[in-house]
C-alpha cells in the first residue's frame, strides 16, 4: 500500500493517546491495544511504499510506539516473560530509530534498555553502565537540555547501583545543570523532552536514596511532589510509595503514614507492578507497628488493594 504523512500522524496520535492513558492508570491497563496497533497498523505500513522522507518519519513514529510498548511491558510485570518482552521492544525501538537517523529516539531506547538492566542485580551492573554511556554518546549533539538531563540522570542511577558514587555524583550534577536551563520552558513533543524538573527531582531523589543519602533523597521527593508537582497519577503514586519508605527508614513513622495514606488514595485503579510492589513493601514494613491503629488501618487497606490488583 501507499503510505504517506497521514499514516505517520496516525501513529503519533496513537502514541500520545495510549501513552497518556498508561501514564494515568499503568502500563498493564492498555498494553494489549498498543501491541494490536503495532501489529495490525504500523507494522504493515513499514512494508508499504513511501518516499525516503516519509520512510524516515514512519520509522521514527513506529520507534516511539515500540518504545511505549516496552515501557508498558516493563510496568505491567517483572517476570521473565515480561523482561524478555521489554528487551525485545526497546531493542526494536532502537533499530527503528537508528534506521531513521533519529539520535534522540535511539538514545531514549538505549536508556529504556538501561533501566531493566539496573534492576536485574549485580551481574548486570556493568551492562547498565555501558548502555547508559552509549545513550549519552547518541545525546552528545542534541539541543534539548531536557533530553540530555534525562540520560544523565539514568547514568547517575546506574552508577549509584554499581557503587561508583563519584560517577553518580558527577552525572547528577550534569543533569541538574541541564534541567535548570529549561525550568520555565514548555516541553517539546518527544518522549525525552517531557522530562520536567519535577520528574528530575523524583529521579534524583531515588538515586540519592540508593547512595544512602536519605535526607537529600527525602528533600528531592518532597520538592518533586509539593514544589514542582507531578501531572501523572501513576507517577505520583509511585513517588508517594517511595517517600513513605524513606520517612520510615529515617524513624519518622507519622511522616511515613501520611505519605502512604496519600499513596493508597492515588493508587486505586492503577495497574502497575511498581505501584503493586510499593503497596507490598508498605505492608511488610508496617507489620512491626501492629499496635498503632493508623498503621494497622493502612496495612489493611493495602491488603485490599493488592487483592484487587
- Would you state the pLDDT for residue 186? 65
Give residue-wise pLDDT tens across range 124-148: 999 999 999 999 999 988 888 999 9
- Would you state the pLDDT for residue 239? 95
d(CA 236, CA 243): 10
CA 279 from centroid of its chain's CA atoms: 18
Plot region of 101 (φ>0 → left; ψ -120 to 50 → alpha; else → beta): left
- Would you state the pLDDT for residue 193? 79
- Would you state the pLDDT for residue 183? 65
Q: Which of 237, 219, 238 is closest to 228 using CA atoms?
A: 219
Q: Which of 246, 263, 262 is closest to 208 using CA atoms?
A: 246
Q: Are 235 and 272 in contact (CB under 8 A)?
A: no
Give residue-wise pLDDT tens across range 173-191: 999 999 998 866 666 666 7
**By CB neighbour count within 10 A (0-12 exposed, 13-18 middle, 19+ buried), where does 68 fall?**
buried
Q: Are 264 and 280 in contact (CB under 8 A)?
A: no
- Would you state the pLDDT for residue 188? 64
Give residue-wise pLDDT tens across range 50-85: 999 999 999 999 999 999 999 999 999 888 999 999
Strands (E), the chain: none
- Would you state the pLDDT for residue 191? 74
Tally of CB atoms within 10 A around 171: 25
Q: Which of 149, 150, 167 is closest to 158 using CA atoms?
A: 167
Q: Which of 60, 65, 20, 17 is closest to 41 using CA atoms?
A: 65
**By CB neighbour count within 10 A (0-12 exposed, 13-18 middle, 19+ buried), where does 81 fall?**
exposed
Name the pTM for this structure.
0.92
In this prediction, the residues of the chain whose per-residue pLDDT falls under 50 are: none
The helix/strand/coil state of 49 is strand
Q: How far from 170 is each of 92, 173, 174, CA to CA, in Å?
A: 31, 5, 6
- The DSSP string of 162-202 is HT-HHHHHHHHHHHHHHHGGGTTSPP-SSSGGG--HHHHHH
- Would you state the pLDDT for residue 228? 75
Amino acid at each position: 500500500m501507499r503510505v504517506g504523512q497521514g499514516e505517520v500522524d496516525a501513529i503519533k496520535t496513537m502514541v500520545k493517546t495510549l501513552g497518556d492513558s498508561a501514564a494515568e492508570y499503568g502500563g498493564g491497563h492498555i498494553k494489549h491495544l498498543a501491541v494490536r496497533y503495532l501489529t495490525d497498523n504500523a507494522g504493515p505500513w513499514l512494508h508499504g511504499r513511501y518516499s525516503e522522507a516519509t520512510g524516515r518519519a514512519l520509522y521514527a513514529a513506529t520507534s516511539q510506539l515500540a518504545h511505549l510498548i516496552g515501557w508498558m511491558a516493563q510496568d505491567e510485570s517483572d517476570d521473565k516473560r515480561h523482561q524478555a518482552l521489554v528487551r525485545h521492544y526497546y531493542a526494536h525501538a532502537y533499530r527503528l530509530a537508528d534506521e531513521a537517523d533519529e539520535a534522540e529516539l535511539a538514545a531514549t531506547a538505549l536508556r529504556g534498555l538501561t533501566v531493566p538492566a539496573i534492576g536485574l542485580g549485580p551481574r548486570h551492573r556493568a551492562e547498565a553502565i555501558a548502555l547508559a554511556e552509549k545513550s549519552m554518546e547518541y545525546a552528545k549533539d542534541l539541543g534539548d537540555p531536557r533530553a540530555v538531563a534525562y540520560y544523565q540522570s539514568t547514568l547517575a542511577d546506574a552508577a549509584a547501583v554499581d557503587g561508583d558514587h563519584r560517577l553518580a555524583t558527577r552525572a547528577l550534577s550534569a543533569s541538574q545543570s541541564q534541567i535548570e536551563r529549561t525550568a520555565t520552558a514548555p516541553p517539546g513533543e518527544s518522549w525525552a523532552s517531557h522530562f520536567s524538573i519535577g520528574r528530575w527531582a523524583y529521579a534524583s531523589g531515588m538515586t540519592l536514596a540508593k547512595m544512602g543519602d536519605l535526607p537529600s533523597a527525602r528533600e528531592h521527593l518532597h520538592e518533586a511532589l509539593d514544589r514542582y508537582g507531578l501531572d501523572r497519577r501513576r507517577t505520583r503514586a509511585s513517588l508517594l510509595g517511595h517517600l513513605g519508605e524513606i520517612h520510615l527508614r529515617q524513624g519518622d513513622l507519622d511522616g511515613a503514614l501520611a505519605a502512604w495514606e496519600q499513596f493508597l488514595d492515588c493508587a486505586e485503579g492503577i495497574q502497575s507492578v511498581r505501584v503493586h510492589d510499593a503497596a507490598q513493601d508498605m505492608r511488610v514494613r508496617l507489620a512491626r507497628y501492629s499496635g498503632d491503629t493508623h498503621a494497622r488501618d493502612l496495612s489493611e487497606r493495602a491488603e485490599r488493594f493488592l487483592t484487587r490488583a
